[in-house]
C-alpha cells in the first residue's frame, strides 16, 4: 500500500474542499427581509438558495472532517484498516476515496 500516494490525494481533496468553503461564504449572508427593497418571491428564492447553500457547506465540512480523520489514521499507522472491525479496507475502495473509514462489510 502506497501511503504517500493516499496522503497526497487526501491533501488535494482537502485543499479543494476548503477552497470551495471559502468561495461559498457569500451565499450564507443573511437574507434581506425588508419588503420595500425585495419582493416576497425574491425573498423566498433567496431563503431557499441560502438553505441549500448551508446544506452544501455542512456536507463539505463533514467531508473535511472525514479527510482529516483519514490523515490522522495515516499518522497513527492505522490507515487502511476498518475503524469498526479492524480488517483491511479493500484497495479498490481506498483508491476511489481514501477517506473511507470502514471496509465494505461494515459500511453496509
For residue 33, is it within any domain?
no
Residue 82 contacts residue 103 (beta carbons within 8 Å): yes
State the DSSP code for 38. Answer: S
Q: Which residue has the cell 447553500?
A: 53
Residue 49 sits in a domain whose CATH number is: 1.20.120.910
Q: How many domains does the chain have?
A: 1
For residue 97, is it within any domain?
yes
For residue 100, is it within any domain?
yes
| pLDDT band (50, 70, 90) for residue 29 | low
Average pLDDT of the segment spanning 75-90: 96
For 43-79, the pLDDT digits (tens) are 778 788 888 888 999 999 999 999 999 999 999 999 9
pLDDT of 31: 52
- The per-residue pLDDT of the chain, averaged, comes to 87
Which residues is 88 bridged to in the sheet?
81
Q: Say which residue, 94 or 54, is predicted with more confidence.
A: 94
For residue 34, is it within any domain?
no
Amino acid at each position: 500500500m502506497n501511503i504517500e500516494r493516499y496522503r497526497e490525494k487526501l491533501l488535494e481533496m482537502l485543499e479543494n474542499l476548503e477552497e470551495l468553503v471559502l468561495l461559498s461564504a457569500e451565499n450564507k449572508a443573511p437574507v434581506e427581509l425588508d419588503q420595500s427593497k425585495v419582493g416576497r418571491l425574491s425573498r423566498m428564492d433567496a431563503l431557499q438558495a441560502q438553505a441549500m447553500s448551508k446544506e452544501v457547506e455542512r456536507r463539505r465540512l463533514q467531508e473535511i472532517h472525514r479527510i482529516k480523520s483519514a490523515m490522522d489514521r495515516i499518522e497513527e499507522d492505522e490507515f487502511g484498516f476498518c475503524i469498526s472491525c479492524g480488517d483491511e479496507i479493500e484497495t479498490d475502495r481506498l483508491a476511489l476515496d481514501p477517506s473511507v473509514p470502514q471496509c465494505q462489510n461494515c459500511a453496509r
